[in-house]
Amino acid sequence: MAKIAVIGGDGIGPEVVGAGIKVLQIAADSDPALELEFTEFPWGCEYYLEHGRMMPEDGLETLSGFDALYLGAVGWPTVPDHVSLWQLLIPIRRSFDQYVNLRPARILRGVESPLRDPGSLDVTVVRENTEGEYSNSGGRLFAGTPREMAVQDSVFTRHGLERILRYAFDLAGTRRGQVIGATKSNGISITMPFFDEVFREISETYPDVEASLMHADALAARLVLDPESFDVVVGSNLLGDILSEVTAAVSGAIGIAPSANINPEGDHPSLFEPIHGSAPDIAGEGVANPAGAIWAAALMLDHLGHAETGARIVEALEATLESGTKTGDLGGSATMDEVTDAVVGRLRG
Ligand code: ATP
């Protein structure tokens, strides 16, 4: 029995995870080895406005007892973004040492890329998720004076680099055998050369994987101009974040893309979510695209050792979109429930 903690969060978050759970339950029905138990937690911005915190004091302890975490979206205009991020998602990523942020991007059948000629885009961005530029080391001085200043350190450790790079190279070994490291060592002259150095060291231990480094700005441009030429891209917390937003955009629409925050050793639960936010403009209307949440659910099954069932879910989703049952953001006219029910119908066979 896999115990799943569900944090729907804000806006369309609870709507799309509801769709994902429906799909997961049906998929589990046809997989005798898969039993899922869902426990929902009402944490997020509404909870913050009521309690002054995004989750209870013992929230992390509560979550630590689960096999996986399934999240919708966290963020609402009445709560500053840095509060919602630093009080919920970042503590989860760090405490559970979810050092891999995995963002696969592919043009699903029935989805049109905004690019004229995207080819057969199928790229996964592996983003370092616990250190790098997203550090809370730094501060501000001389506030309110003309000397006001802000400093924030980037933290790159050999331990952190080696493990994320190995993950990327291992992953490439199961795919098309190519890793491109996103760097910026021409401008950022201390931490990025260190990234490059460790990248080269690790690449030597993977003779079967083709490895190269590319400056992140040129890489972003090539993702748009020639997305087909990529297999696995690995980058620091900030560069990986930005580049995976590009891969999500060129693969169709933000509502499709999933993301996994993984603790590969399984010492702590991993977290699975669509990459989109709470989308206040369409919240409550029943028109959100559930594809990102459904694909994230498939990634969760993959991680829990049920890759075949995960693949069946993605196939059912693709077949649904291909048949024209899709939401407005993809040029269709279906509601979220219509898309979800069509996916469920295909899974039932
Ligand atoms: P946040 O600030 O929490 O990241 P946001 O909603 O401002 O959230 P995005 O999630 O990037 O930012 O969404 C931008 C816009 O894209 C939304 O306002 C919405 O119009 C559209 N969008 C995002 N997700 C979906 C979805 N699942 N289905 C349909 N449209 C979506």
Pocket lining: 73 vs ligand 1, CB cutoff 6 Å: yes
Measured between alpha carbons, how far is residue 147 from residues 139, 142, 302 in Å?
14, 6, 52
Å from CA of 336 to ligand 1 middle: 14
3-state SS, one letter per residue, for 194-253:
HHHHHHHHHHHCCCCCEEEEEEHHHHHHHHHHCHHHCCEEEECHHHHHHHHHHHHHHCCC
Interacting residues of 271 by C-beta distance below 8 A, sequence separation 6+: 68, 69, 70, 71, 92, 93, 96, 98, 260, 261
Pocket lining: 107 vs ligand 1, CB cutoff 6 Å: no
- Long-range contact set of residues 20-25: C-beta below 8 Å, sequence gap at least 24: 20/70, 20/290, 20/293, 20/294, 20/296, 20/297, 21/70, 21/297, 22/340, 22/344, 23/294, 23/297, 23/313, 23/316, 23/340, 23/343, 23/344, 23/347, 24/297, 24/300, 24/301, 24/313
Residue nearest to atom 8 of ligand 1 (CA): 277
Among 236, 251, 266, identify where a domain stops.
Answer: 251
CA angle (303, 327, 78) in 5-degree steps:
80
pTM: 0.93
Position 90 scores a pLDDT of 87
Strands 210-215 and 149-152: unpaired
Which residue's entry shows tokens 């929902």? 40
Å from CA of 25 to ligand 1 middle: 26
Residues 193 and 126 in one domain: yes
Residues 236 and 131 in one domain: yes
Instruction: Report d(CA 303, CA 90) in Å as an integer.
Output: 21
Interval 183-208: pLDDT, tens: 999 999 999 999 999 999 999 999 99
Residues 261 and 242 in one domain: no
Q: How many domains does the chain have?
A: 2
Domain membership of residue 220 as a residue range: 113-251
Residues 236 and 261 in one domain: no
Q: List, for the chain, all residue ranges whose pLDDT scores fall below the cut of 50.
A: none
Residues 18 and 92 in one domain: yes
Q: With contact defined as beta carbons under 8 Å apart, do 91 and 60 qualify?
A: yes
Q: With contact defined as beta carbons under 8 Å apart, do 296 and 274 qualify?
A: yes
Pocket lining: 289 vs ligand 1, CB cutoff 6 Å: yes
Residues 155 and 243 in one domain: yes
Among 251, 268, 290, identify where a domain stops.
Answer: 251
DSSP secondary structure of 260-294: EEE-TT-SS-EEEEESS---TTTTTTT----HHHH
Position 170 scores a pLDDT of 98
Residues 219 and 287 in one domain: no
Residue nearest to atom 14 of ligand 1 (CA): 279
Å from CA of 259 to ligand 1 middle: 15
Residues 10 and 94 in one domain: yes
Residues 65 and 193 in one domain: no
Position 20 scores a pLDDT of 98
Rounded to the nearest 5°, which phi and psi values hold at 169?
-70, -40
Q: Among the atoms of ligand 1, which is closest to the Cα of residue 276?
A: 10
Å from CA of 11 to ligand 1 middle: 9
Position 349 scores a pLDDT of 78
CATH number at 272 reads: 3.40.718.10
Among 251, 280, 314, identify where a domain stops.
Answer: 251
Position 253 scores a pLDDT of 87
Q: Which residues of 268-288 are buried (b: 16+ CB within 10 A; e: fewer)?
A: bbbbbbbbbbbbeebbeeebb
Residues 235 and 261 in one domain: no
Position 104 scores a pLDDT of 96
Strands 232-235 and 178-183: parallel
Interval 28-78: pLDDT, tens: 998 889 999 999 999 999 999 999 999 999 999 999 999 999 999 999 999
Q: Among the atoms of ligand 1, which is closest to the Cα of residue 290?
A: 27
Position 130 scores a pLDDT of 93
Q: Which two structure tokens, joined as six digits, stand for 49?
A: 């406005």
Residues 329 and 281 in one domain: yes
Interacting residues of 217 by C-beta distance below 8 A, sequence separation 6+: 184
